[in-house]
Structure 1
Amino acid sequence: MGARSARAPTSASASATARARRPRARGGVVATRATTVNETATARDLPKVLVAGGGIAGLITAHACRRKGMEVTVFEKVRKYEPFGGPIQLQCNAQGALDSIDPDVAEAVMRAGTITGDRVNGLLDGVSGEWFYRFDTRKPCHENGLPLTLVLSRFELLDILSKGVGAENIEMGTVVEKYEHRGDKIVATLTDGTEHEGDVLIGADGIHSRLRKQMRGAETKLAYAGYAVYTAICDYSQPHREPVNTDPNKVGYQVFLGPKQYFVSSDVGNGQQQYYAFLEVPPGGDDEFAKCERWANYRDMLLDRFSDWCPAVLERLECTKPEDVERRDVNDLLPDPRWVDGRMALLGDSAHAVQPNLGQGGGQAIEGAYVLADELSKCEGGKGVQKALMMYAARRFLRTGAIHGLSRFSSLMNTFYRRYLGDEPYGWYPEPAKEMWHEVSKAKIPHPGSVVGQIALMATMPIILEYVGAGYGIPGVLGGASTGNGKDRVPKSQVPGISAPKRDLTADDFKMKGIPGLAK
């Protein structure tokens, strides 16, 4: 399930109660029940699958394999699933793959979530609150028959997936310590010494994976992104101060840019917003902001750090309960093709953890689960498992590597963002040069980097959105998305006023106005 985040230095708050929802029956099957195997599954012998880790990656892998008719056992370290963390974003690629795995579970997720992909999303200047670039995330969905981006509670998603897998197939309170190949089988040994035998073992045990460490031996440390993130959920139904281009009824996902820090916020339903405040600091939590000795709590520290930013940012911080803010370093894994060791394969964050800038961590795990189950379903019992796992890795490596690169690029772009020429001179400038640039900044001349950056975004963002969301129809082995039967769907989530809210938006709301490079 991953390591817990560090909480603010105040009293702990009670976990938010997940919204209770009653899933709609479809085709006579209730989506959150343990789902029977796919009708296409045959009576032939299929691999017995062991899954280390019962988080999102592990559960969707188990469910995908069960849908293909395989026997599956999941080992999850927590004794009981409970509300924790914030909501998760599922973009159209993730929902498309989920629908290909199990339409009933996909519908349950759709009903439980809050659609944000039908609103304006984009980048803004953190100080002025003006749009730097707006983009339309609906287009890749409409053109590829994929559902619109949504967000939902992690606990609700885990609840839906765990019920789909079935409690009898999940060993709670257990951890896979190591694995061993024995003849034509693989044996997973738990931390209590218990052994479990199967035909294949999937390491879905997160970014700090024990199985990855065993497979690769002495590996490099996690790559630090250069930022720590402070995150919370706040009650925020309407903006109270100008500018009002952050109205939750019209805007879904926003990234406020600024030197050495940026602020990401998304509507998560029920009048709430989830935000991530990224600060450029050394790793390890030893900086003054992490220690928080000059402030009463993390929220007050963030209000100080972002004090000259626009009302949209400050209001979210002001609406936050101090004890709700959590902190963690932002890390990822450098792309490494070593995903498979005989009958053991890595999946999800254990193989390709990415920075959160694209909201693709869970999505790539779901794509991977779809591909893995597809390859394993071609095996006769334990025969051909190694080949199937290698094919799974081949179909997924370039795709996850590309998503990793795009996620890193998003963070790098913010590192160099400057609104005006002379703003925030780089630290390596000598003092006389810094003073000169401070004077220049008073003239409010648009920074050449931001001008060129906006033009570049206008030219490339539609391409990036199409690739991330649908993969341009490129084969998986060449880096394409793994969404399954995408073009055969007409998702209900695309019908405004029926299963998506009816928004008071026009095509003009999604467009930038003005000369490219200086548009707003």
Structure 2
Amino acid sequence: MEINPAVNFQHDRKVMHTRRPKVLIVGAGLGGLTLGAILQKTDIPYEIFERAAVVKPLGSGITLNATVAPLMRQLGIYDEFVAMSHVVPAVQVGNENREIQFSFSNYFDEATTKYTTTKASALFGADTRLLARPKLYELFLRQVPTERIHMSKKILSTTQGGNGILIRCSDGTEYEGDILVGADGAHSAIRQTLYEQLKKDRKLPSSDDVPLPFSTVCLVGQTKPLTPEDIPLLAADKCQVVRIVGEDKPYAWNTFTTTQSTVCWSIVRFLDEESSKLNDSFRNSEWGPEAAEAMCEEVRDFPIIAGGDKKLTIGDLIDWSPKEYISKVMLEEKVFRTWYGCRTVLMGDACHKLNPSGGAGAVNAMHDAAVLANYINALPLHPVVDEIESAFESYRAERIEWVERAFNTSQMLQALVAKGLKPMLVRFMMKNMPEFLKRRAAEQMYSCRPQLAFLPLDETPALVKPAYQPSLKAKAPAQEVNDQEQPAQSV
């Protein structure tokens, strides 16, 4: 395909092929698969490209709150998600003496006006639930036909202009489309390529022209199936989440029980200036077990709360965990200001990397996918660049405020297990926060519950109504363009 670099060339719908725009999605992570699963419900053509040859079952537990339940119900996968996940009634915060210091609940009981484990879904229409990250990934992978996903496709370059977009892969293959979605993670190759061009054109804000900042590294893993004799907490019918704050060490660690009788675990190390330099070599590393062994040895003796009289350590969990389920990763944090350019748009970690302390990274990637899909679906047939950029701007405008709120919440929740005076104050405030403030914070956090404009809306009852969603008004073209020119449809 010859890519015309002119963005604003004369476009005559009378002579152009009338079709829906083709979407090229780079990245077969959770965000990319969510967008693929959504587009599978439309007549919009799409392809997904993943640089890895195979997707490894990495990661620890992942929490999804009520804000993604409507989307999952629309996709027809919510019941399956519920069957493989645990309700998270509360997060317990403990110390190295295996004592629970306090806990904060995810739920509010209207009858008692207190947060409790009863009436879990009354406010927002769904529970907060946790499952092993690989299980969630497998669920979304099943929603996308295998022929739509192309593995071992490392993107070397992209060219975009008035006529479309072309991507070139390291194996010599090329693919054409109308829209390119960068869903390829914190070190997004698509973002880097886009930013290079925007920088040449002097359109990139200086705040985006800096490396991703990071202050922590994280070791994660998941055990083999265990019994309540091994871990008494596994006997509970709800997820047991325990966070321990190190007393004289720059670490905090978490354990989560799953419906598969496994224990997911993670250890966060908070870096100072010197340790940041030592860990900088991992800045561009992929998730994987290769860098994990040294950190495993550092944390083996850390105590965990296993329930009953069991006095176990992180080392026990490591010994119970298959090596391929253990990995080390940098935890970068940044909300980029630039999300699109010409026919390229970013989503998920590629445009906002959140610390996983708040469990908001995957949730916001799924929100991105829903909102972006609404605006793509509303594009006219064979859209020009101006129409595409207008849709992208609407997507960014709708999402950016919610992402910034999630970023601030993640910062606060990270402080729950961090070191220093500020984290101590945060823990004190969380422990002593009045019930009405807890409810107000929860309502603000969980009111963003985006849905798809082109599928039947989820009408599950909830006391707290969802926030206004502009993209629900973005509708697909009413009819195809044939021989007569039709004006562009606004989005």
TM-score (normalizing by structure 2): 0.71
Query: CA separation of 1:129/1:149 partners in 2, compared to 1, >3 Å: closer, same or farther?
Result: same
Query: CA separation of 1:236/1:263 partners in 2, compared to 1, >3 Å: closer, same or farther?
Result: farther
2:375 is matched by which residue type in structure 1?
Answer: E
Partner of 1:170: 149
Q: 1:232 aligns with which of 216, 221, 238?
A: 221
Between 1:201-210 and 1:161-170, the stretch displaced more is 161-170
Partner of 1:122: 92
Does structure 2 retain, via aligned residues, the 8 Å contact 1:199–1:381?
no
Query: CA separation of 1:317/1:449 partners in 2, compared to 1, >3 Å: closer, same or farther?
Result: same
Does structure 2 retain, via aligned residues, the 8 Å contact 1:255–1:263?
yes
Alignment of 1:181-196 (within 5 A): 181-196=160-175
Partner of 2:50: 76
Q: 1:54 aligns with which of 5, 8, 28?
A: 28
Q: State the distance in 2 between where 1:47 and 1:175 align.
A: 23
SS at match of 1:77: coil
Alignment of 1:281-430 (within 5 A): 281=271, 282-283=275-276, 298-304=295-301, 306=302, 314-315=312-313, 317-321=315-319, 324=323, 326-383=326-383, 384-416=387-419
Partner of 1:146: 126
Does structure 1 retain, via aligned residues, the 8 Å contact 2:241–2:256?
yes
Query: CA separation of 1:78/1:215 partners in 2, compared to 1, >3 Å: closer, same or farther?
Result: same
User: How many angstroms does 1:231 deviate by?
Assistant: 2.0
Are 1:264 and 2:267 matched, yes or no? no
User: How many angstroms does 1:63 deviate by?
Assistant: 1.9
SS at match of 2:23: strand
Q: State the distance in 1 between where 2:194 and 2:145 align.
A: 29
Between 1:401-410 and 1:323-332, the stretch displaced more is 323-332
Q: State the distance in 2 between where 1:71 and 1:82 align.
A: 27
Partner of 1:14: none
Q: State the distance in 2 between where 1:233 and 1:122 align.
A: 19
Alignment of 1:194-273 (within 5 A): 194-217=173-196, 219-224=209-214, 226-234=215-223, 236-238=226-228, 248-249=236-237, 251-259=239-247, 260-273=250-263
Query: CA separation of 1:223/1:193 partners in 2, compared to 1, >3 Å: closer, same or farther?
Result: same
Does structure 2 retain, via aligned residues, the 8 Å contact 1:212–1:350?
yes
Cα root mean square deviation, aligned: 3.4
Partner of 1:463: 440
Between 1:312-321 and 1:394-403, the stretch displaced more is 312-321
Aligned length: 396
Partner of 1:161: 140
User: How many angstroms does 1:276 deviate by?
Assistant: 0.9
2:52 is matched by which residue type in structure 1?
Answer: V
Does structure 2 retain, via aligned residues, the 8 Å contact 1:122–1:133?
yes
Query: CA separation of 1:404/1:450 partners in 2, compared to 1, >3 Å: closer, same or farther?
Result: closer
2:344 is matched by which residue type in structure 1?
Answer: M
Structure 1 gaps, min length 5: 1-43, 288-295, 419-424, 427-446, 472-479, 492-520
Deviations 1:187-226 (A, max 9, x none): 22222343222111100111110111122237311211x3
User: How many angstroms does 1:387 deviate by?
Assistant: 1.3
Does structure 2 retain, via aligned residues, the 8 Å contact 1:368–1:482?
no
SS at match of 2:59: coil
Query: CA separation of 1:159/1:227 partners in 2, compared to 1, >3 Å: closer, same or farther?
Result: closer
SS at match of 1:213: helix
Q: State the distance in 2 between where 1:248 and 1:263 align.
A: 20
SS at match of 2:228: coil
Q: State the distance in 1 between where 2:234 and 2:420 align.
A: 21
1:373 is matched by which residue type in structure 2?
Answer: A
Query: CA separation of 1:269/1:382 partners in 2, compared to 1, >3 Å: closer, same or farther?
Result: same
Deviations 1:307-344 (A, max 9, x none): 5x766683454243177484534422421220011111
Q: 1:63 aligns with which of 14, 31, 37?
A: 37
Does structure 1 retain, via aligned residues, the 8 Å contact 2:153–2:170?
yes
Q: State the distance in 1 between where 2:334 and 2:353 align.
A: 8
Q: State the distance in 2 between where 1:230 and 1:213 align.
A: 27
SS at match of 1:254: strand
User: How many angstroms does 1:49 deviate by?
Assistant: 0.7
Q: State the distance in 1 between where 2:427 and 2:102 align.
A: 9
Query: CA separation of 1:316/1:486 partners in 2, compared to 1, >3 Å: closer, same or farther?
Result: farther
1:389 is matched by which residue type in structure 2?
Answer: F
Q: State the distance in 1 between where 2:330 and 2:437 align.
A: 26
Does structure 2 retain, via aligned residues, the 8 Å contact 1:140–1:465?
no
Q: State the distance in 1 between where 2:144 and 2:184 align.
A: 17
Does structure 2 retain, via aligned residues, the 8 Å contact 1:239–1:315?
no
User: How many angstroms does 1:122 deviate by?
Assistant: 3.2
Does structure 1 retain, via aligned residues, the 8 Å contact 2:87–2:238?
no
Query: CA separation of 1:141/1:486 partners in 2, compared to 1, >3 Å: closer, same or farther?
Result: farther
User: How many angstroms does 1:273 deviate by?
Assistant: 0.9
Identity over the aligned pairs, expressed in percent? 17
Q: State the distance in 2 between where 1:449 and 1:55 align.
A: 33
2:70 is matched by which residue type in structure 1?
Answer: G
Are 1:482 and 2:450 matched, yes or no? yes
User: How many angstroms does 1:393 deviate by?
Assistant: 1.0
User: How many angstroms does 1:77 deviate by?
Assistant: 1.7
User: How many angstroms does 1:240 deviate by?
Assistant: 7.3
User: How many angstroms does 1:270 deviate by?
Assistant: 2.7
Query: CA separation of 1:153/1:406 partners in 2, compared to 1, >3 Å: closer, same or farther?
Result: closer
Q: State the distance in 2 between where 1:279 and 1:348 align.
A: 24
SS at match of 2:219: strand
Does structure 2 retain, via aligned residues, the 8 Å contact 1:330–1:355?
no
